[in-house]
Amino acid sequence: MAQKRRSLSGKVVAITGGARGIGKATAQALIAKGCRVAIGDLQHDLAEQTAAQLGSGTVALPLDVTDRGSFERFLDEAERQLGPIDAVVNNAGIMPVTPFEEESEASVRRQIDINVGGVVTGTQLAIKRLRPRGTGWIVNIASQAGKSGIPGIATYSGTKHAVVGISEAVRGELRGSGVEVLCVMPTVVNTELTSGVGQKWVKPVEAADVANEIVEAMEVPRFDVFVPRANGVLYKVLAPLPRRWREALGRAMKIDKLMTEVDHGARRAYEERAAASGP
């Protein structure tokens, strides 16, 4: 029997990295369901522009996910303006593309601080708010790069493996609490983060596709949120195969070239912004 779809109307949701991309699309999809949304971003001016575009009382707040105090202030102010938070979407992340041996220490550290540290902090702070009320959602944006290693984005792949593992463990710790964890694993998403990436065997999805799957998994409980869904089935089919077979299939589909044969010129603006990301 199909599970009953739950209403999200009136729910208060805080989204990190909400000024653009998946964060912005998720805010828009949740607003369409009647949610009240607070978006946090390092680029507060852009977040304010996004909030104005989204309307419906969307709140834009400054946020540095690598600073626990900043994260606490973001959630406190979101609750002051909108009411008790029902969901935290840990979306903020960066993806530099470079051969691992050439990657700078600063790039590695920044990815760990944002992609892992930000999710850890956001998840911990969300638990403290949600568990006492016995309800709510923690939505962690991982990646299908968190299910397999992708050449050219070794550090990013490692951080997303961490997000998957953290989400799985926390789900176990919260079992029976009423607080749900969603682990969102998109393929290549057509946003600034993947600018210059092109590969005929890997069809990109849109940020709105990811947002719609998040909303669907909040309405009808689901931990593994693959985008597109078919890729979740593919992972299950391939998992029992010997590693050499899976790797050979990946090479045949040129997945090993996905992040090594990119247009670095097209990525320059994004790479510079990611490298300079800071409070």
Residue 38's H or E segment, with its range, is: strand 36-41
Residue ranges per domain, the chain?
Answer: 12-275
- Provide the 3-class DSSP secondary structure of residue 141: strand
Architecture of the domain whose range is 12-275: 3-Layer(aba) Sandwich (3.40)
Instruction: For the chain, give the number of residues.
Output: 279
What is the spatial distance between Cα 67 and Cα 9, in angstroms, rounded to a whole number?
31
Q: In sequence order, which residues have a C-beta less than 8 Å from that of residue 212 and are 6 or more positions away?
A: 29
What is the spatial distance between Cα 243 and Cα 12, in angstroms, rounded to a whole number?
43
Phi and psi based region of residue 52 (left: phi greater than 0; alpha: psi -120 to 50; beta: remaining): alpha
Active site residue 235: no
Helices then strands, each counted (H, E), the chain = 10, 7
Is the distance from CB of 12 to CB of 83 less than 8 angstroms? yes
Is the distance from CB of 38 to CB of 129 less than 8 angstroms? no
- What pTM was estimated for this model as a whole? 0.94
How confident is the prediction along the chain (279 residues), in pLDDT tens digits per residue?
Answer: 567 899 999 999 999 999 999 999 999 999 999 999 999 999 999 999 999 999 999 999 999 999 999 999 999 999 999 999 999 999 999 999 999 999 999 999 999 999 999 999 999 999 999 999 999 999 999 999 999 999 999 999 999 999 999 999 999 999 999 999 999 999 989 887 887 787 666 788 999 999 999 999 999 999 999 999 999 998 899 889 899 999 898 888 888 888 888 888 888 888 888 887 765
**Which of the following is catalytic: 156, 205, 211, 267?**
156
Residue matched to tokens 């070794």: 154
Residues 44-69: pLDDT tens digits?
A: 999 999 999 999 999 999 999 999 99
Helix axes 21-32, 44-54, angle to 10 degrees: 30
The Cβ of residue 213 has, within 10 Å, a number of other Cβ atoms equal to: 23
Written as six digits, the tokens of 220 are 């009808």
